[in-house]
Amino acid sequence: MDLLIDTHVFLWWEASSPKMPPHVHAALADPANAIFVSAASVWEVAIKKRTGKLEFEGSVGLAVRRSGFEPLHIGLEDAEAAGGMVWSHTDPFDRLLVAQSQRHGLTLATADFIIRDFAKVPLLWAG
């Protein structure tokens, strides 16, 4: 399975959080699965870290690589798809993750009810 993980799922993985459902942890740990972290998630964590809304030690990008996950860069087409999406949700990070999931044929691992209710992408529900 090819998974794109939402920012909070990445943070749960990094913190070994008990919030991570066992089936999601198993999917992320399975070497048969390709796990992607969007540059949008790295950007989101960096912003929240800078503004004091989130404590995260060290480089987010290095943490992604250390976890063995693949970085997913933001392409022009990804940005255009996110901006053109007919969806009332205005969070740019969520919009980009959904667009990247659609464009790259990835299952999105999330616990975000707004994304789940949009239901335009295959989900691995982490809620």
Domain with residue 11: its CATH number is: 3.40.50.1010
Q: What amino acid occupies position 111?
A: A
Contact 109, 27 (CB under 8 A): yes
For 37-46, how does the pLDDT look when each residue is reduced to its tens digit (9 = 90+)? 999 999 999 9
How high is the mean pLDDT of the chain? 96
Domain residues for 84?
A: 2-125
Place of tokens 């390709």: 34
Is the entire prediction scored with pTM above 0.85?
Answer: yes
Burial class (CB in 10 A: 0-12, 13-18, 19+), 85: middle
- C-alpha 88/C-alpha 79 separation (Å) is 16
Structure tokens belonging to residue 42? 């790295």
Structural domains in the chain (count): 1
For 73-97, how does the pLDDT look when each residue is reduced to its tens digit (9 = 90+)? 999 999 999 999 998 888 999 999 9
Per-residue pLDDT band at 118 (split at 50, 70, 90): confident
DSSP state letters, 53-121: S----S-HHHHHHHTTPEEE---HHHHHHHHH---S---HHHHHHHHHHHHHT-EEEE--HHHHHH--S
Q: Is residue 34 classed as helix, strand or coil in its secondary structure?
A: strand
Question: What value does the mean pLDDT take over residues 63-76?
Answer: 97
